[in-house]
């Protein structure tokens, strides 16, 4: 069997990694997470999954894949989750694409004013569905409090397929020089670590309380589990990993869980103008549900 030449990583070949193994991994991550891994990502896959082979005592990628696929689903569930966790890309930052947060302030105030005119209505609901390590969820929470005050009637459901990033998001601990935070926000919304925790910051509990974090796979078909419809969805920098049919499927489901007039915020390189039957462009990478 030939092995892939991925010079920087597989060159030393701790584990045999054949083209057929790479193809199978591409199929499996597509089936499980909707992620389309391009040819040329062999070195990335090798480096990310090698740790799983080491931890599970497998001698080659084909050995690992065979074991994963042949183990009864219930027994292999935890390893499938590790497999997915290894293959997601979790790059994020506080207030990434900050024009969205400026637009959000105006939008939240307008929606809150409408709600105030109709007493007894539900709190505003926001869903952040590629939450990663928490910087985006907490940026949303800070924005809500800054726009509407400490008593903001906002529910923030923040989900991700990757259970490992959610552990970090729940901890809410970051480097004190994390990108995207200015001094005023550091002071208002974070506690500074001292002693052994110097150089670290932790989200204040009153802000963390606004954020509900839980796993959710956008390929899941049980979207009713998300609860009441949302006013706003942040779905940023995840659809870039999906092919066109998968994007369309996710957009149709998001359309169903957004209230009429609800807004969908997407990443800077994501363009859904083809789905104009579902969403119309309302601002820079902001769409309104039709
Ligand atoms: C590049 S990060 C984007 C994080 C954040 N939204 C931002 O823009 O900074 C992409 C996130 O999408 C998540 N993801 C990938 N496939 C997913 C899926 N099928 N369902 C839910 N989340 C997924 C990854 O785990 C990762 O945390």
Who's near 161: CB < 8 A, 6+ residues apart? 33, 84, 88, 215, 216, 217, 218
Residue 10 is predicted with a pLDDT of 47
Long-range contacts, 11-19 (Cβ 8 Å, 24+) = 14/50, 15/46, 15/50, 15/53, 15/58, 15/59, 15/60, 15/61, 16/59, 16/60, 16/61, 16/62, 17/42, 17/46, 17/60, 17/61, 18/61, 18/62
Atom of ligand 1 nearest to the CA of 93: 9
Q: Which residue CA neighbors atom 16 of ligand 1 most closely?
A: 33
Residue 191 is predicted with a pLDDT of 98
The position carrying tokens 């990033």 is 165
Q: Report H helices in 57-134.
A: 61-70, 73-87, 99-116
Cα of 77 from ligand 1 centre, angstroms = 20
Annotated active-site residue 48? The verdict is yes
In contact, 289 and 260? CB cutoff 8 Å: yes
The position carrying tokens 């409408």 is 114
Residue 12 is predicted with a pLDDT of 61
pTM for the model stands at 0.95
Q: pLDDT tens, position by position, for the chain (290 residues)?
A: 444 444 334 456 899 999 999 999 999 999 999 999 999 999 999 999 999 999 999 999 999 999 999 999 999 999 999 999 999 999 999 999 999 999 999 999 999 999 888 877 789 999 999 999 999 999 999 999 999 999 999 999 999 999 999 999 999 999 999 999 999 999 999 999 999 999 999 999 999 999 999 999 999 999 999 999 999 999 999 999 999 999 999 999 999 999 999 999 999 999 998 899 999 999 999 999 99
* Distance (Å) of CA 166 to CA 59, 93, 150, 282: 30, 15, 25, 31
Annotated active-site residue 280? The verdict is no
């Amino acid at each position: 069997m030939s092995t892939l030449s991925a010079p920087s990583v597989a060159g030393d070949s701790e584990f045999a990694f054949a083209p057929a193994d790479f193809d199978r991994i591409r199929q499996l991550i597509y089936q499980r997470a909707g992620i389309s891994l391009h040819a040329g990502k062999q070195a990335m896959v090798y480096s990310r999954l090698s740790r799983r082979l080491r931890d599970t005592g497998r001698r080659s990628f084909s050995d690992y894949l065979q074991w994963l696929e042949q183990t009864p689903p219930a027994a292999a569930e935890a390893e499938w989750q590790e497999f997915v966790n290894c293959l997601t890309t979790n790059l994020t930052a506080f207030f990434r694409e900050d024009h969205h947060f400026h637009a959000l302030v105006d939008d939240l105030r307008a929606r809150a004013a409408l709600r105030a005119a109709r007493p007894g209505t539900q709190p505003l609901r926001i869903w952040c569905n590629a939450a990663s390590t928490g910087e985006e969820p907490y940026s949303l929470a800070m924005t809500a409090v800054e726009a509407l005050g400490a008593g903001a009637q906002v529910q923030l459901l923040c989900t991700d397929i990757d259970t490992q990033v959610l552990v970090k998001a729940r901890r809410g601990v970051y480097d004190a020089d994390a990108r995207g935070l200015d001094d005023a926000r550091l002071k208002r919304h974070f506690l500074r670590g001292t002693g052994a925790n110097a150089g670290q910051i932790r989200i204040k509990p009153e802000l963390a309380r606004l954020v509900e974090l839980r796993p959710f796979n956008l390929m899941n078909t049980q979207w009713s589990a998300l609860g009441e419809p949302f006013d706003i969805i942040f779905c940023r920098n995840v659809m870039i990993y999906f092919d066109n049919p998968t994007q369309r499927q996710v957009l149709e489901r998001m359309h169903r869980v957004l209230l009429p007039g609800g807004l969908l915020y997407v990443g800077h390189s994501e363009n859904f103008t083809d789905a104009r039957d579902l969403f119309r462009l309302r601002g820079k990478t902001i769409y309104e549900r039709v």
